[in-house]
Structure 1
Amino acid sequence: MITEQRIAASSNVPPLGALVDKARHLVQMIAPLSVAQLALRVALAVPFWRSGILKWDGFLKLSDTAVTLFTDEFMLHLPGGPYHFPAPGVMAFMSGCGEITFPVLLVLGLGTRFAALGLLVMTAIVELAVPDGWPLHITWAAMALALMAHGGGRVSLDYLICAWRGRT
């Protein structure tokens, strides 16, 4: 009798596969891939943008602080080092340009994979200069790699351009 009741009760429970499918569908409704890609683009852009705007005093005019950082403060932590950055004025200028340009491209979703690659390279350089910051740098690298692998998503100019050209 007890066995028959258990069998009857268990027949009303959907199979585990159906529950997993429902859970997966719920998660995809809450966080569709395009929203996740947009969030990744913005999350990666923000810290670089914030750092970049501090490096400029005007249009193409670096702040004295930016050059001083690359001249006196930032060091490359390589074997046998640390070493000063080569051409600190050029490095400060390139860093400032990258920290402004790549985040704008990311937020717009224009050249997303290229912009993410640029920020991945910058992250590697930052890691060499500030090796104790690796817990944060690894998250930047992971976001950049995800964007390089999957692109900007449907909420991006890349997608609109491809759709306009008939290549979605």
Structure 2
Amino acid sequence: MNTRTESQNPVARLIGRIIQLFEMIPYSLIAFVARFSIAAVFWKSGQTKVQGFAIDLVSGTFDLGVPRLANSTIPLFASEYKVPLLSPEIAAHLSAFGEHFFPVLILLGFATRFSALALFGMTLTIQLFVYPDAYPTHGTWMAILLLLMAKGPGVFSIDQLIARRYR
């Protein structure tokens, strides 16, 4: 019979110490990475739906013209996306707007929880009606959005500045 307790076990102590280090990761860092990542996903998707307006920090593309739907966007909503209850024209415009507006708000940490809710609704719609087999991807997006809805944007955010002002 092993008389050593778990706390005396060097492997258990090492694992416990590593877990303590993980627990020291500041939520604000987690939230910032989550905000940046999910904003990039939706922004890049929105950029595929418009022309005349492009901002891509990675490629260095900047076209600050007047945005309009790309020629392929409405046909894509008519043939492949087929969102129920909305015409392809309305769905295309709402999607293009939402995929640009809400990511900016999330990145800035402004109205973060409500913006995350909007993108969660969009993700749920995509999962249920457009790409039901893409649940691993959509589940990852939803986990990030749920985190932001539940815990907020962290201290590096406009929401936090507003909250401090009114406390």
TM-score by length of 1: 0.77
Amino acid aligned to 1:42: F
- Say whether 1:143 aligns with 2:144: yes
User: What is the SS of the residue equivalent to 2:51?
Assistant: strand
Task: Provide the aligned length of Structure 1 versus Structure 2.
Answer: 149
1:61 to 44, 50, 68: 68
Aligned position for 1:34: 28
Distance in 1 (alpha carbons) for counterparts of 2:22 and 2:135? 30
Distance in 1 (alpha carbons) for counterparts of 2:158 and 2:143? 22
Q: CA deviation at 1:67?
A: 0.8
Distance in 2 (alpha carbons) for counterparts of 1:144 and 1:64? 30
Determine what percentage of the aligned residue pairs are the same residue: 38
Distance in 2 (alpha carbons) for counterparts of 1:60 and 1:90? 16
Distance in 2 (alpha carbons) for counterparts of 1:136 and 1:22? 32
Structure 2 residue ranges without an equivalent (≥5): 53-65
Q: Say which structure is richer in helix.
A: 1
Amino acid aligned to 1:131: P
Q: CA deviation at 1:24?
A: 4.7
Aligned position for 1:111: 111
Q: CA deviation at 1:25?
A: 4.1
Distance in 1 (alpha carbons) for counterparts of 2:15 and 2:166? 36
TM-score by length of 2: 0.77
Distance in 2 (alpha carbons) for counterparts of 1:121 and 1:136? 15
Q: Is the CA contact 1:71–1:85 (under 8 Å) kept in the aligned structure 2?
A: no
Aligned position for 1:47: 41
Amino acid aligned to 1:61: R
Q: Is the CA contact 2:82–2:88 (under 8 Å) kept in the aligned structure 1?
A: no
Report the aligned-residue RMSD. Answer: 2.7
Q: Say which structure is richer in strand.
A: 2
Question: What are the residue-to-residue correspondences of 1:148-167 with 2, within 5 Å?
Answer: 148-163=149-164, 165-167=165-167
User: What is the SS of the residue equivalent to 1:64?
Assistant: coil
User: What is the SS of the residue equivalent to 2:72?
Assistant: helix
